[in-house]
Structure 1
Amino acid sequence: MRNSISITSIASVSALGSLLEDIWTNYKNDKHHLSIKEFDNFNAWVAKLQEKDKLQIEKLRKSDAKYKDLDESVLYALYVSRKAIKEAGWSANDDFGINIGSSRGATILFEKYHKEFLQTGKSSTLSSPTTTLGNISSWIAHDLQTSGPEISHSITCSTGLHSLLNGVAWIQSGMASKFLIGASEASLTDFTIAQMQALKVYAKNEDEYPCKTLDLEKNNNTMVIGEGASVICLEEGIKENAIAYVEGVGYATEILKHNISISSDAQCFQKSMKMALGNVSPKEIDAIVMHAPGTIKGDLSELKAIEKIFGEHEPFLTSNKWKLGHTFATSGLLSLELGILMLQHQEGISVPFIEKQKCPAKINKILVNSVGFGGNAVSILITK
């Protein structure tokens, strides 16, 4: 990192809510926010947005005639982007960049329009512009009335942290001084859940905890899909209103032997964590917010990668997917949010069904991991 990067605000909406104080309160108990949803041909565990947030998002949809035909992934991103720039004190005159990614994109609308096409042989007028991935960042730029650069991309489940990489790169290059980065997913649809079930990774159990992230004794995969959006305001330099700082970034892609799996010791994570650490000693890392999707191989391979890098100096380990589901692209940024909250409150959030860990007396540096299909890992080092 050539220059300091400040995180001056973060906003999100997920199964844990949309207010940071509520989100932290929900992290401090051992309750998950997963529920059974009825689909056309099956029922499945999911992590839905809270009803009060759904109502506010529907209100946003009705606030502008142009918004009535937008996919929920766009509306979720609009909802949290407004909050983030207000908290950071940004205005349209700042001409900040925007990079909002999504793994699935406009899933709800795409499935709707495709079904319509199969039934009628015709497609609706707005089917193309409302389902292109780039329309997320474009609509946010419209809504916030900014004229800076706009980027949208998809790199599977590490998309959100790749957005952060892009924002950092633009700022470090001198091409921008501020960047709004984020990700959004509204993917609780029949086809999306059926796809995950076909991969044999989805939760089937009716235990107290449907998703057993980091439980190495589990006999079945326990991934549960959630929906949500998260955005972060990044600024060049050390700012007085910074809530955390990006101290290091790392990324890696490994050669795959299977479409959905990474190596048994997650070599991509080993490389991304080493890069993010830079000259920082592994002994200085107080906690790691893991990707840990709740699958047998996924959880174990990441743990092995951590063991390779940290040895006997293994930090406090945690993950949030047992509580709010795997939100695809948004997951890495929700993990980053958990890391920021732990820095602010100086308290580690434990996973309830694994052996209790000793939380460090002081939490100064946290590593956040994310990886997706394709073996594309990202690690971000944040500090107070």
Structure 2
Amino acid sequence: MKNPIYITSMASVSPLGEDHEEIWEAYKNNHHFIQKHNFEEEEAFAAFLPEKLRAEIDNLRTESANYRKLDLSVLFAIYTSRLAIKRADWQNEKNIGINIGSSRGATGLFEKFHAEFIENRQASTQASPSTTLGNISSWVGQDLENNGIHFSHSVTCSTGLHSVLNAVAWLQSGLANKFIAGASEAALTPFTIAQMKAIKTYASEDLEYPCQALNLDKTRNTMVLGEGAGLLCLETSASEKALAKITGIGYSAEKLKHSVSISEDGKCMQNSMKMAIGDLDPTEIDVVVMHAPGTIKGDLGEVNAIKAVFGENLPAMTSNKWKIGHTFATSGILNLELAMLMLKHQEFISVPFSDISKKPTRLQNILVNAVGFGGNAVSILINNI
């Protein structure tokens, strides 16, 4: 990177809530937010937003007739963007770039409209405009009355961190001075759950911790889905509100042998981590917040990648999916949030049932990973101001 990019504010909605103090307290205990739910008479583990927060987001539909027709993924993003803008004190800024991605997009509405089509052989008037992926960033821009560039994309589960890559590129090119980057995912629907079960990745055992992310002794896949949105306000200079700075970015892809797996040594993640670390001595990396989806091959491939990059001087390793599930595109942003909170409070958050990691002796440089279907990996290096 030419110069650091500063994180002026961070906002999220997730099973942990929305308030950063509340989120941090939730991270400090060993409680998880995964429960069994009924998806059209089919039980499955999932991690939903708290009911009170979900109700507040649903209330956005009362603000405008247009908002009544929006997918939850869009409402999550609107709600979260308002928080992020307020925390950054950007309310009067009208030329902010916006890149909010999503792995699944308007999942709930798409399934609803398709079911109606199957029954009636007619499509709703709102079916096309309300299910486009670009709907998320466009509606956030409309809500904020913003005149900057608005775009969305999908790179499956690494989408959120790819949004950060895009924002860094725009900011460092001089095409924008301020950027909102992140992801939104509201995909806890019967069809999506069924898809995850069909590829044999989903948790099925009623354990104390249903998602066994970073338990390398597990004999079954244990991925669990969650929902949420996460957004960063980014700029090229450090304001008094700056929370952390991005000093390295990395990305890579690898040739697929299977559409939902990575190589045994996580080659794409090796490359993305090396790129993000750059000229920094690898021993300076204190923690890696891992993608670690809770699958046998996914967790092990990432651990192997870390061992290949760092050798005997392994950094501390952790994940949050055992606590909040896998939020698809948003997962990388929530990983960044955990990294930022650990830097702020100078406390490492471990995985209660995993013994693969030692505690770090300091917290200064944290590497954050995400990887998605298609073998697309992203790594972001952050540190204190």
- Partners in 1 of 2:190 and 2:173 — Cα distance? 42
Once the two structures are TM-superposed, the CA of residue 92 in structure 1 deviates from its matched residue by 4.5
Partner residue, 2:8: 8
Partner residue, 2:171: 171
Once the two structures are TM-superposed, the CA of residue 22 in structure 1 deviates from its matched residue by 0.7
- Partners in 2 of 1:2 and 1:123 — Cα distance? 49
Once the two structures are TM-superposed, the CA of residue 65 in structure 1 deviates from its matched residue by 1.7
Cα 1:304/1:182, change in 2 over 3 Å:
same
Secondary structure at 1:313 match in 2: coil
- Partners in 1 of 2:153 and 2:357 — Cα distance? 37
Asked if 2 retains the 8 angstrom alpha-carbon contact of 1:92 and 1:145, the reply is: no
Matches within 5 A, 1:115-264: 115-264=115-264
Secondary structure at 1:93 match in 2: coil
Secondary structure at 2:304 match in 1: helix
Partner residue, 2:275: 275
Partner residue, 1:100: 100
Partner residue, 2:85: 85
Asked if 2 retains the 8 angstrom alpha-carbon contact of 1:3 and 1:237, the reply is: no
Find runs of 4+ consecutive structure 1 residues off by over 3 angstroms. Answer: none
Once the two structures are TM-superposed, the CA of residue 40 in structure 1 deviates from its matched residue by 1.2
Partner residue, 1:296: 296
Q: Deviations over 1:103-139 (max 9, x none)?
A: 0000000000000000001011111000000010010
- The two structures have a TM-score, normalised by structure 2, of 0.98
Once the two structures are TM-superposed, the CA of residue 238 in structure 1 deviates from its matched residue by 2.7
Asked if 1 retains the 8 angstrom alpha-carbon contact of 2:318 and 2:349, the reply is: yes
- Partners in 1 of 2:3 and 2:94 — Cα distance? 20
Moved more, 235-244 or 82-91: 235-244
- Partners in 1 of 2:195 and 2:360 — Cα distance? 40
Q: Which amino acid letter does the alignment assign opposite residue 203 of structure 2?
A: A
Q: Which amino acid letter does the alignment assign opposite residue 65 of structure 1?
A: A
Q: Deviations over 1:32-67 (max 9, x none)?
A: 100111011410000000011011101112122210
Once the two structures are TM-superposed, the CA of residue 295 in structure 1 deviates from its matched residue by 0.2
Matches within 5 A, 1:305-324: 305-324=305-324
- Partners in 1 of 2:252 and 2:189 — Cα distance? 31
Asked if 1 retains the 8 angstrom alpha-carbon contact of 2:214 and 2:356, the reply is: no
Asked if 2 retains the 8 angstrom alpha-carbon contact of 1:350 and 1:356, the reply is: no
Identity of aligned residues (%): 59
Partner residue, 2:359: 359
Once the two structures are TM-superposed, the CA of residue 354 in structure 1 deviates from its matched residue by 1.2
Once the two structures are TM-superposed, the CA of residue 357 in structure 1 deviates from its matched residue by 4.2
Moved more, 340-349 or 56-65: 56-65
Secondary structure at 1:78 match in 2: helix
Asked if 2 retains the 8 angstrom alpha-carbon contact of 1:92 and 1:146, the reply is: no
| Structure 2 residue runs without a partner (length 5+) | none
Partner residue, 1:42: 42
Q: Which amino acid letter does the alignment assign opposite residue 134 of structure 2?
A: G
- Partners in 2 of 1:207 and 1:270 — Cα distance? 32
Once the two structures are TM-superposed, the CA of residue 356 in structure 1 deviates from its matched residue by 7.3
Secondary structure at 2:73 match in 1: helix
Secondary structure at 1:117 match in 2: helix
- Partners in 2 of 1:326 and 1:30 — Cα distance? 17
Asked if 2 retains the 8 angstrom alpha-carbon contact of 1:92 and 1:147, the reply is: no
- Partners in 2 of 1:284 and 1:239 — Cα distance? 26
Partner residue, 2:381: 381
Q: Which amino acid letter does the alignment assign opposite residue 228 of structure 1?
A: G
- Partners in 2 of 1:96 and 1:152 — Cα distance? 14
Partner residue, 1:369: 369
**What RMSD in Å do the two structures reach over aligned CA positions?**
0.9
Partner residue, 2:327: 327
Asked if 2 retains the 8 angstrom alpha-carbon contact of 1:15 and 1:228, the reply is: yes
Secondary structure at 1:349 match in 2: coil
Asked if 1:67 is matched to 2:67, the reply is: yes
Asked if 2 retains the 8 angstrom alpha-carbon contact of 1:103 and 1:185, the reply is: yes
- Partners in 2 of 1:262 and 1:361 — Cα distance? 31
Asked if 2 retains the 8 angstrom alpha-carbon contact of 1:4 and 1:238, the reply is: no
Once the two structures are TM-superposed, the CA of residue 352 in structure 1 deviates from its matched residue by 0.4
- Partners in 1 of 2:361 and 2:84 — Cα distance? 30
- Partners in 2 of 1:308 and 1:92 — Cα distance? 47
- Partners in 1 of 2:66 and 2:117 — Cα distance? 23
Once the two structures are TM-superposed, the CA of residue 173 in structure 1 deviates from its matched residue by 0.5
- The two structures have a TM-score, normalised by structure 1, of 0.99
Asked if 1 retains the 8 angstrom alpha-carbon contact of 2:101 and 2:182, the reply is: yes
What count of residue pairs does the alignment treat as equivalent? 384
- Partners in 2 of 1:236 and 1:328 — Cα distance? 28
Asked if 1:348 is matched to 2:348, the reply is: yes
